[in-house]
Structure 1
Amino acid sequence: MSTTLLQELQGELRRLYIAGSDLAAEDFRLKRLEPKLAQLGERAPVFKRLAEGVAALAGPADPEVRAVRLQDVSLLLNSVLSTQGVTAAEGQVRKEKEKDSEMPELMTIYSYRQLTEVQNALSESGGGRYEIVTSAYEQGLFCDLRLFPFAMKALGDSYSEIADFAARNILPSYGRAIVPHLLSELDMQGGREEERRLQVVRELGVDPEDDRSLELLVRAAEEGADKIRSAAIACLGPYPGYETRLLEWSQDKKKAVREGAYRALAVCNSEAARQRLYDSFKGKNAMLAAEAIGYAPATEMIDMLLPLFVERLRKEGAGEEDKKGKEKQWNELEPFLIAFKNAHHSKLGQLYLDLAGNPSEYPALGRLSEWERRRVLIQAAAYLENMDTDEALAVLKHLEEQNPIYLQYAFRATKRRLTPAELYDQYVGSGWGRLKTLVTKKSQETQMALLDTLKEELYVYKGYIRSRLPQERIEVEWDRRWLDWLIERENLQLVSALAVPGNPKLLPYIEQAVENANNHDGPYIFAALDAGGFDVEIKYNLLLKWMEKKDWKRTYSMYYEESERLLQAPDHMAAESADRLEALLKDIKYDGLKVNLEEIIHTLRRRAASI
Structure 2
Amino acid sequence: MSTALLQELHQEVKRLYIAGSDLAAGDFRLKRLLPQFQQLGERAPIFKRLGEGIVAVIEPDHSEGSSSAQHLQELSVLLSSVLHTQGTTSPNGELLEVQVHPVKLPTQFSYRKLSAVQMSLKTRGGGRYEIIKEAYEAGLFQDLRMIHPALAALQDPYVEIAELVMKQILPAYGPQIIPILIDQFDPAGGIVETRKLYVIATLGGDTVQDLIYQAADSGSEDVRAMAISLLAGKGQYEEELLAWSTDKKKKIREAAYNALAKSDSASALNRLHQAFTGKDSELVVPALRQCQAQELTQRLVEEFSVMLQSVPEIIGDTKKKDGLWIRVVQYLRVLSYKQSPELEKLYLNVLEQYPLYMNQLSWNSLIEEATSYFRQIDSMEAKRVLQQTLEQDLVYYRNNRRYVNDVFKDAYLYLSPERVYEQYLDVLKIQAPSSTNRASAITQQLLHSISEIVVQRYHGTYDAVWNSPVDQIQYMYKVEMQPSEVLATQWDLRWLDAFIEFDQYELVSAFARPGHDKALQYLLRKLTDNPEFRHRQANILLMGLERIGISKQHLQEALLTALEDERNTECRLIEPYTFEQLCLLPTNSVNRITTVLPRFSDVAEEQLGYVIRLMQGPSNSKEEV
Q: TM-score, normalised by structure 1?
A: 0.53
How far apart, in 1, do the equivalents of 2:530 and 2:295 lie? 54
How far apart, in 1, do the equivalents of 2:135 and 2:279 lie? 47
Alignment correspondent of 1:376:
366
How far apart, in 1, do the equivalents of 2:295 and 2:206 lie? 30
Q: TM-score, normalised by structure 2?
A: 0.52
Match of 2:390 among 389, 392, 396: 396
Report the 3-state secondary structure (helix = DSSP H, G, I; strand = E; otherwise coil) of the residue aligned with 1:268.
coil
**Per the alignment, do residues 435 and 360 of structure 1 end up closer, same or farther by CA in structure 2, a change over 3 Å counting?**
closer
Q: Which amino acid aligns with 1:375?
A: S
Structure 1 residue 567 displacement after superposition: 12
**Per the alignment, do residues 143 and 277 of structure 1 end up closer, same or farther by CA in structure 2, a change over 3 Å counting?**
same
- Which is further off, 182-191 or 247-256? 182-191
**Per the alignment, do residues 424 and 276 of structure 1 end up closer, same or farther by CA in structure 2, a change over 3 Å counting?**
same
Structure 1 residue 254 displacement after superposition: 1.4
How far apart, in 1, do the equivalents of 2:121 and 2:598 lie? 28
Considering only aligned residues, what root-mean-square deviation do their CA atoms show, in Å?
Answer: 6.5
* Counterpart check, 1:274 vs 2:274: no
Match of 2:301 among 306, 326, 348: 306
Q: For 1:200-599, what aligned pairs fall within 5 Å after superposition? A: 210-211=205-206, 221-222=216-217, 225-227=220-222, 229-315=224-310, 316-317=313-314, 320-322=317-319, 327-358=322-353, 370=362, 373-387=363-377, 388-403=382-397, 404=400, 405=402, 411=408, 414-417=411-414, 421-422=417-418, 424-425=420-421, 427-428=423-424, 430-433=425-428, 436-437=431-432, 445=442, 448=445, 451-452=448-449, 455=452, 471=480, 474-479=483-488, 495=507, 498=510, 504=520, 505=522, 541=563, 548=570, 573=593, 577=597, 580-581=600-601
* Counterpart check, 1:6 vs 2:115: no
**Per the alignment, do residues 439 and 262 of structure 1 end up closer, same or farther by CA in structure 2, a change over 3 Å counting?**
same
**Per the alignment, do residues 389 and 483 of structure 1 end up closer, same or farther by CA in structure 2, a change over 3 Å counting?**
same
Structure 1 residue 500 displacement after superposition: 7.1
Structure 1 residue 510 displacement after superposition: 7.4
Structure 1 residue 473 displacement after superposition: 5.1
Asked if the contact 2:216–2:228 (Cα under 8 Å) also holds between the matched residues in 1, the reply is: yes
Structure 1 residue 252 displacement after superposition: 1.9
Structure 1 residue 359 displacement after superposition: 5.0
Stretches of structure 1 that go unaligned for 5 or more consecutive residues are: 18-73, 83-118, 551-558, 582-596
Report the 3-state secondary structure (helix = DSSP H, G, I; strand = E; otherwise coil) of the residue aligned with 2:318.
coil
**Per the alignment, do residues 386 and 470 of structure 1 end up closer, same or farther by CA in structure 2, a change over 3 Å counting?**
farther
**Who wins on radius of gyration, i.e. which is larger?**
2
Alignment correspondent of 1:70:
none
1:487-523, Cα deviation, whole Å (9 max, x unpaired): 765678x759957787644576578789799xxx86x
How far apart, in 1, do the equivalents of 2:568 and 2:501 lie? 22
Asked if the contact 1:487–1:509 (Cα under 8 Å) also holds between the matched residues in 2, the reply is: no
How far apart, in 2, do the equivalents of 1:196 and 1:497 lie? 53
1:574-593, Cα deviation, whole Å (9 max, x unpaired): 89556642xxxxxxxxxxxx
Report the 3-state secondary structure (helix = DSSP H, G, I; strand = E; otherwise coil) of the residue aligned with 1:396.
helix
Structure 1 residue 609 displacement after superposition: 9.7
Stretches of structure 2 that go unaligned for 5 or more consecutive residues are: 1-100, 460-474, 547-554, 584-589, 617-625
How far apart, in 2, do the equivalents of 1:411 and 1:538 lie? 40
How far apart, in 2, do the equivalents of 1:528 and 1:122 lie? 51
Report the 3-state secondary structure (helix = DSSP H, G, I; strand = E; otherwise coil) of the residue aligned with 1:389.
helix
How far apart, in 1, do the equivalents of 2:544 and 2:121 lie? 32
How far apart, in 2, do the equivalents of 1:541 and 1:141 lie? 42
**Per the alignment, do residues 606 and 460 of structure 1 end up closer, same or farther by CA in structure 2, a change over 3 Å counting?**
closer
Structure 1 residue 292 displacement after superposition: 1.9
Q: Which amino acid aligns with 1:393?
A: Q
**Per the alignment, do residues 424 and 314 of structure 1 end up closer, same or farther by CA in structure 2, a change over 3 Å counting?**
closer
How far apart, in 1, do the equivalents of 2:565 and 2:136 lie? 27
- Which is further off, 338-347 or 291-300? 291-300
**Per the alignment, do residues 576 and 549 of structure 1 end up closer, same or farther by CA in structure 2, a change over 3 Å counting?**
closer
**Per the alignment, do residues 244 and 318 of structure 1 end up closer, same or farther by CA in structure 2, a change over 3 Å counting?**
same
How far apart, in 1, do the equivalents of 2:264 and 2:245 lie? 14
Q: Taking CA–CA contacts closer than 8 Å with sequence separation of 6 or more, which of the two structures ends up with the larger relative contact order?
A: 1
Structure 1 residue 307 displacement after superposition: 2.0
Report the 3-state secondary structure (helix = DSSP H, G, I; strand = E; otherwise coil) of the residue aligned with 1:273.
helix
How far apart, in 2, do the equivalents of 1:284 and 1:532 lie? 65
1:118-144, Cα deviation, whole Å (9 max, x unpaired): x99998745xx69x97xx99xx99976
How far apart, in 2, do the equivalents of 1:529 and 1:193 lie? 56
How far apart, in 1, do the equivalents of 2:282 and 2:394 lie? 30
Q: Which amino acid aligns with 1:548?
A: E
Identical-pair percentage: 20
Structure 1 residue 304 displacement after superposition: 0.7
**Per the alignment, do residues 389 and 510 of structure 1 end up closer, same or farther by CA in structure 2, a change over 3 Å counting?**
same
How far apart, in 2, do the equivalents of 1:384 and 1:282 lie? 28
1:305-333, Cα deviation, whole Å (9 max, x unpaired): 112212222333398535xx555333322
Asked if the contact 1:384–1:396 (Cα under 8 Å) also holds between the matched residues in 2, the reply is: no
How far apart, in 1, do the equivalents of 2:339 and 2:176 lie? 35
Asked if the contact 2:456–2:481 (Cα under 8 Å) also holds between the matched residues in 1, the reply is: no
Asked if the contact 2:509–2:543 (Cα under 8 Å) also holds between the matched residues in 1, the reply is: no
How far apart, in 2, do the equivalents of 1:469 and 1:123 lie? 37
Q: Which amino acid aligns with 2:392?
A: H
Asked if the contact 1:195–1:227 (Cα under 8 Å) also holds between the matched residues in 2, the reply is: yes
Structure 1 residue 350 displacement after superposition: 2.6
- Which is further off, 187-196 or 469-478? 187-196
Alignment correspondent of 1:89:
none
1:21-62, Cα deviation, whole Å (9 max, x unpaired): xxxxxxxxxxxxxxxxxxxxxxxxxxxxxxxxxxxxxxxxxx
**Per the alignment, do residues 471 and 609 of structure 1 end up closer, same or farther by CA in structure 2, a change over 3 Å counting?**
closer
Asked if the contact 1:408–1:450 (Cα under 8 Å) also holds between the matched residues in 2, the reply is: no
How far apart, in 1, do the equivalents of 2:596 and 2:478 lie? 35
- Which is further off, 212-221 or 343-352? 212-221
1:262-304, Cα deviation, whole Å (9 max, x unpaired): 2232232332222111111111111122222223454332211
**Per the alignment, do residues 473 and 163 of structure 1 end up closer, same or farther by CA in structure 2, a change over 3 Å counting?**
farther
How far apart, in 1, do the equivalents of 2:341 and 2:266 lie? 21
Asked if the contact 1:189–1:225 (Cα under 8 Å) also holds between the matched residues in 2, the reply is: yes
Report the 3-state secondary structure (helix = DSSP H, G, I; strand = E; otherwise coil) of the residue aligned with 1:478.
helix
1:354-406, Cα deviation, whole Å (9 max, x unpaired): 223325767xx8886x4xx2222222232234443313321232123211537
